């Protein structure tokens, strides 16, 4: 892989990594605050119910905010991340609630969260595919990239957003052969 980047590509990658790196912990903190302030008023157990929704929404928004500087990109990017990352967390909480089990199917909470985020990445990749199709003839790869990027990001919990932003950014620049433009180009 050629790692020589133009000045614009370096700016794009730096902005995407920074935005995603900031959105990640803010999304987790927001989820904790909202869980205690709102969700726990109706559902008293400590819950991951809205972690995925908050994380997906803030990361999706931060990425869209950077992408729109280079492309005229649909706000569907934000919704794809919110729904894609949110659904697996909601499903996990509902499984635990309705099965009457305090234990997840996966005994390791760490491994379980990697699996939940990987499923979220898969869904996000599927939902973002329409946008990516406008950027690349090899857009189907985006599903794999998104799945792996989100799953791997949990392994670096505190740096998860940086890891996610770096993988997504590099994929957009190289694997999808995305040419970052000085002027926005209409996509999705």
Report the pLDDT value the prediction gives residue 181, as an integer from 0 to 100.
56
The residues with which 186 forms a beta bridge, in sequence order, are 72
Residue among 33, 32, 27, 35 nearest 57 (CA): 27
Report the pLDDT value the prediction gives residue 51, as an integer from 0 to 100.
86
* Token reading at 125: 């990749």
Angle at 68 between CA 125 and CA 25, to 5 degrees: 65
The residues with which 71 forms a beta bridge, in sequence order, are 185
Residue among 125, 117, 180, 124 nearest 151 (CA): 117
Q: What is the pTM of this model?
A: 0.86
* Cβ within 8 Å of residue 72, ≥6 positions away: 184, 185, 186, 187
Q: DSSP letters along 149-172, please?
A: HHHHHHHTGGGHHHHHHHHHHHII
pLDDT in tens, 16-69: 999 999 999 999 999 888 888 887 777 666 667 788 899 999 999 999 999 999
pLDDT in tens, 116-134: 899 999 999 999 998 888 8
* Cβ within 8 Å of residue 80, ≥6 positions away: 60, 124, 127, 128, 131
pLDDT in tens, 132-174: 888 777 788 999 999 999 999 988 777 999 999 999 999 988 7
């Amino acid at each position: 892989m050629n790692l020589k980047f133009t000045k614009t590509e370096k700016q794009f990658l730096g902005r995407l990594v920074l935005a995603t790196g900031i959105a990640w912990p803010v999304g987790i903190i927001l989820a904790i605050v909202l869980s205690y302030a709102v969700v726990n008023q109706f559902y008293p157990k400590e819950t991951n119910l809205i972690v995925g929704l908050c994380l997906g929404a803030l990361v999706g928004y931060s990425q869209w905010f950077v992408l729109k500087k280079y492309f005229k990109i649909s706000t569907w990017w934000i919704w794809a991340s919110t729904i894609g990352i949110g659904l697996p967390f909601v499903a996990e909480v509902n499984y635990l609630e309705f099965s009457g089990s305090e234990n997840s199917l996966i005994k390791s909470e760490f491994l379980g969260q990697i699996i939940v985020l990987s499923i979220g990445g898969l869904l996000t990749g599927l939902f973002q595919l329409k946008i990516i199709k406008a950027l690349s003839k090899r857009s189907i790869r985006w599903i794999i990239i998104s799945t792996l990027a989100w799953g791997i990001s949990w392994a670096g919990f505190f740096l998860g957003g940086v890891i996610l932003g770096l993988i997504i950014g590099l994929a957009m620049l190289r694997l999808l052969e995305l040419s970052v433009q000085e002027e926005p180009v209409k996509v999705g």
